[in-house]
Amino acid sequence: MSTKLPTHSIDISEDAGTRYLHFGSEWVQGAMRIRRPWALELAYTQEMMAGLLLRDAPWPRSALLIGLGAGSLAKFIWRYLPQTKITVVEIHPQIPFAARQFFKLPEEDERLRIVIGDGAKLVATKKQRYDLILVDGFDHKARAGALDTLPFYEHCRDRLTRCGVFAANLFGQSRGFRASAERIRQAFHGRQMVFPLCDSGNVIALAVAGDLLEVPLALLRARASTLKRNTGLDLRPSITRLQITTPLPNGLLRL
C-alpha cells in the first residue's frame, strides 16, 4: 500500500439486518449483523481467527492488525480475548471514525490502540514482536499493494514471537491467490497452510514462526468446541475445510 493517503469515499449500506462497509465500490470491506455486533459476520474473518486453534489460552498476549475496515477482528479480540493487547494499523484516517459510528468499534483504551499509518512500513521499521499478526488491507479496487510482497511477509515473520501466528486474507478469484500464497510460503520457509477458497473469493493463509508446531487433529477439534462455547465462533467447519488442502499424517498438523 502506498504511503499516499487514500482519497476514495467511505460508504455504508444495509440489507436484511446486516450493515456493510464499502470503499467507493461494490466490494464489501466489512460487515456487521446489527443484532450481533461482536460476532464475525463474514466467513473469511472467521477463518482469520483460526490461529486460536493452534495455541492454548492465554495466547495471544499481543496482536497486530493491519487494516481496520469495519473493525470486526479488533472487536472480536477486544471482547472475547481479554488477555490480548491490540495494535491496529490503518492507512485511511477516516476509517476508525466510520468503524466507531457505524460498526460499534470501542474507543481506544489500555488494550486497544489504533495507529494511522502504513502497515508495510511499520513492520519493516519497528522491532516490537507480536503473538498474532492479522493482515486484511485492500484499497477500493481490491488491491493489497505492498501488503502482498515477499519483503512484507518476511518482515511480518520477523515481527512474530516464538509462538507467533500470521494470517492473511488473500483476495482473488480473478487475480489468483496462489502467487500470494507462494510468497508467504517462501517468507515462512514452508511453514504455512492455506484454506480452500471461500464463496466470497477470499482465501486465508496461516503461517507460523519460532518453535516447531505439532497439533493433533483431536486437539484442534477440542479447541474449536471450547472456542464455540466461549465466544460463539464456530471453527469446526474450518477444520474440515483445512483437511482438504493440508496433509495431516496420522491425524497430526505439523508446521
CATH no. for residue 193?
A: 3.40.50.150
Q: How far apart are CA 95 and CA 10, in angstroms?
A: 8
Residue 157 in any domain: the answer is yes
Q: Is residue 1 part of a domain?
A: no
Select which of 118, 131, 136, 139 is catalytic.
136
Residue 3 lies inside a defined structural domain of this protein:
no
Tell whether 101 is covered by a domain: yes
| Number of compact structural domains in the chain | 1
C-alpha cell at 23: 470503499
Inform me whether the pLDDT recorded for 176 exceeds 80.
no
Residue 107 one-letter amino acid: E
Judge whether 159 lies within some domain.
Answer: yes
Please report which confidence band the pLDDT of residue 1 belongs to, taking 50, 70 and 90 as the band edges: very low
Cβ atoms of 133 and 160 within 8 Å: the answer is: yes
Say whether 99 sits in a helix, a strand or coil: helix
Global pTM? 0.93
Kind plus residue range of the DSSP H or E element containing 160: strand 160-171
Q: Are 187 and 156 in contact (CB under 8 A)?
A: yes
Catalytic, 136? Answer: yes
Q: Is position 27 within any domain?
A: yes
The pLDDT of residue 178: 87
Task: Report pLDDT digits (tens) over 52-105.
Answer: 999 998 999 999 999 999 999 999 999 999 999 999 999 999 999 999 999 999
The burial of 90, by beta-carbon neighbours within 10 Å (0-12 exposed, 13-18 middle, 19 or more buried), is given as: buried
Residue entry with cell 493463509 = 205
- Section 102-129 average pLDDT: 96
Indicate the pLDDT class of residue 23, thresholds 50, 70 and 90. Answer: confident
41 falls within a domain = yes
**CB–CB of 159/64 below 8 Å?**
yes
For 209-253, write each residue's pLDDT tens digit: 998 999 999 999 999 999 999 999 999 999 999 998 888 999 999
Parent domain of 80: 11-254
